[in-house]
Amino acid sequence: MNTKVNIAGVTFKNPVMTASGTFGSGMEYGEFVDLNRLGAVVTKGVANVPWAGNPTPRVAESYGGMLNAIGLQNPGVDVLIERDLPFLKEYDTNVIVNVCGKTIEDYLEVVERLADEAVDMLEINVSCPNVKEGAIAFGQRANSLYEITSRIKEKARQPIIMKLSPNVTDITEMAKAAEAAGADALSMINTITGMKIDVHRRKFVLANKTGGLSGPAVKPVAVRMVYQAAHAVKIPIIGMGGIATAEDAIEFLLAGATAVAVGAMNFVNPYATIEVIDGMEAYMNQHGIEDIAELIGAVEE
Amino acid sequence: MGQKRKTIATVVSQNEIAPQIYDLWLETDLAKEACPGQFVAVYPKDGAMLLPRPISVCETQKDKNRIRLVYRIAGAGTKEFASYRVGEEAEILGVLGNGFPVSCAQGKNVFLMGGGIGIPPLLQLAKEMQAHKQIIVGYRNQELFLAKELAQYGTLYVATEDGSVGCRGNVMDAIEQNGLQADIIMACGPMPMLRAIKKYAEEKGIEAYISLEERMACGVGACLGCVCKTKEIDSHSHVHNARICTDGPVFEAREVDI
């Protein structure tokens, strides 16, 4: 049985990754799961300098999902290089660093600092809904997305994944802009902007007022967007949004994703990534599938 | 300290000990590792509620693999927990957080202070601590809980908001009215109480360890949801945000900006 997948020349032992921001840099969940088994660890977004993030409350539950407005708190790329990358290097898993910034120059600084580091791919976060400047502003207009993608592609030593926002009118337009600008892959979806109000206090539950919705509640939206984007572009797609089980992951592959990421469900079940990997293998056995590539985009029209 | 894990616990008993306050004993192998001031996160069974609810450990019986959780119904998740019957299983994640530095109080004159649903973690703390213990607890009204049990381990002072039991007011009023003094404080309760304790301890120049609360998602330090402002740069993100779930929930009051 072959579970390996290839994205932009990088081989993954299986298509299961962690969604950025839900897994730290692997240390915390390393207590629960064997990181060697993962296709990749995708680190929490990192900027050129430390970011303090938003005021609390930063998280809230909603029906079948959760809202977060962490605001990309991170220690900056230097700490990632000194502390987190050496930790991850000890494991036999691919490392994808998620990169964020307020200006194009911020992104470029991080990308350049990572040029000679043990990083397999870069995921460019142009879709975080929780920071005021940068981030999502680059990911909601096709021409801005084209510009930042091409600027980063010029400088990046590793293949780049553009992480797309679902908070757009037409996901295919964004996917095409990223592809045209040289993106090596796409990941989707980032969280959907939401809001929750405490009716007894008449106050917003999150200090930031709005937050990003994730978890099983968003999965059908994510599957639909992956399907649409897979028909619009040729570059590989990493699908995510509410994946809790192997069935969920396979749904994304059938819709056209080459790989998947487990996000909010890590919080619900710290063993979710491993259970998805085991479950996908069981599914392949059960259905007589030799190569996982047979599943990619294999939904019957 | 043992490895954090998600495990299945079995309900040994459950009783309502005051209006909306439930006393739940669970059988779990996590009991052996639980220290005073640490917490577990309990998962609702209703799949619409994704996130586990952090609840402090009130008491442990290590020889019987039992932990006791005393919680208030605060929403749909805790309402579900209150329906659990003897023999029913519950998924829990634990043991989480750092706990109180029990040995720092060794032989000293100590205030153990609790307000409302912040009172439960004081019980195991009072049981384990070897010190001159003055246990000061605040309630809304005469519907006390855990008071008699706490009184076994120290001198108990009660404050109630309506003055129905003990002194009228809060735990700070109880200190003043009883003319109490201490070398060190350990406390858990609502934020206004913790702010008052921080101020009091700074004025008196004594140590105070306070247990903080915040909305949490992962409970293990990954999501950065439950942070609090700190005086010094934190070790994780190198800003001024400690993670309550892992760096806390107990902090020396001078370290945090609350």
Residue A28 and residue A24: Cα distance in Å, rounded? 7
Residue A128 confidence (pLDDT)? 75
Residue A35 confidence (pLDDT)? 98
SS3 B217: coil
Residue A134 confidence (pLDDT)? 61
What are the pLDDT digits (tens) for B73-96?
Answer: 999 999 999 999 999 999 999 999
8 A C-beta contact, residue B84 and residue B45: no
List per-residue pLDDT tens for chain A, 301 residues long. Answer: 999 999 999 999 999 999 999 999 999 999 999 999 999 999 999 999 999 999 999 999 999 999 999 999 999 999 999 999 999 999 999 999 999 999 999 999 999 999 999 999 999 999 876 666 666 778 889 999 999 999 999 999 999 999 999 999 999 999 999 999 999 999 999 999 999 999 999 999 999 999 999 999 999 999 999 999 999 999 999 999 999 999 999 999 999 999 999 999 999 999 999 999 999 999 999 999 999 999 999 999 9
Tell me the one-letter amino acid at A53: G
What are the pLDDT digits (tens) for B94-108?
Answer: 999 999 999 999 999
Between chain A and chain B, how many beta carbons pairs sit less than 8 Å apart?
110
Residue B127 confidence (pLDDT)? 97
Residue B235 confidence (pLDDT)? 87
CB contact residues (below 8 A), chain A span 31-70, against chain B: 31-32, 44, 50-53, 56-61, 63-66, 68, 70
Among B125, B133, B16, B147, smallest CA distance to B60 is for B125
Please report residues of B whose CB lies closer than 8 A to that of A22: 218, 222-223
**Residue A128 annotated to the active site:** yes
SS3 A148: helix
- Beta strands, E only, chain A: 5-7, 10-12, 16-18, 40-42, 59-62, 65-68, 94-99, 121-125, 160-163, 185-188, 192-195, 197-198, 203-204, 210-214, 237-240, 259-262
Residue with tokens 């259905």: A287
Please report residues of B whose CB lies closer than 8 A to that of A262: none
- Taking the CA atoms of residue A97, residue A100, residue A105 and residue A110 in that order, the dihedral angle to the nearest 10 degrees is -30
SS3 A35: helix
On the question of pLDDT at B1 being above 60, the answer is: no
Residue A135 confidence (pLDDT)? 63
CB contact residues (below 8 A), chain B span 50-89, against chain A: 50-52
CB contact residues (below 8 A), chain B span 32-51, against chain A: 43, 47-51
Query: Which residue of the set A72, A128, A175, A217 is catalytic?
Result: A128
What are the pLDDT digits (tens) for B18-53?
Answer: 999 999 999 999 999 999 999 999 999 999 999 999
Nearest chain A residue to B242 by CA distance is A52
> Do you know the residue count of chain A?
301
* Both tokens assigned to B237: 């993100």
Residue A133 confidence (pLDDT)? 61
Nearest chain B residue to A66 by CA distance is B50
* Both tokens assigned to B79: 């309402």
Q: What is the pTM of this model?
A: 0.95
Residue of B223, B233, B239 best to disrupt the A interface, most CBs of A under 10 A: B223
Measure CB to CB from residue A74 to each of B217, B228, B237 and give the nearest one. B237
8 A C-beta contact, residue B131 and residue B108: yes
SS3 A141: coil
8 A C-beta contact, residue B39 and residue B102: no
End-to-end CA distance of chain B: 28
B216 in reach of chain A (CB within 8 A):
yes
Kindly tell me the sign of the dihedral angle through the C-alpha atoms of B229, B234, B240, B246: negative
